[in-house]
Amino acid sequence: MQQTNLLARIGCDTRGATAIEYGLIVALIVIACMGALQLVAGETIEMWDWVSSEVTKERG
């Protein structure tokens, strides 16, 4: 009988669902940040490659 009450209380508890939702939101934000950083890193690498080639050309 007490197990039934415990299971009923666990079934009605929504606090865990909120924590899971916040966890999913944070995970999506992290994935978006990683993608943005990857794009910026690619642009930065291209810029420094260009600077390097220009300096090499000027030095002869």
Query: CA–CA separation, 53 vs 35, rounded Å?
Result: 27
Q: Is residue 50 part of a domain?
A: yes
Q: Is residue 1 part of a domain?
A: no
What's the angle, vertex CA 37, arms to CA 28 and CA 22, rounded to 5? 20
Q: Is residue 20 part of a domain?
A: yes
Query: Residue 43 pLDDT > 90, yes or no?
Result: no
For 13: left if phi > 0, alpha if psi spans -120 to 50, otherwise beta; the answer is: beta
Average pLDDT on 22-46 reads 93
Q: In which domain, by residue range, is 30 found?
A: 6-58
Give residue 15's pLDDT band: very low, low, confident or very high (50, 70, 90).
confident
pLDDT at 28: 97
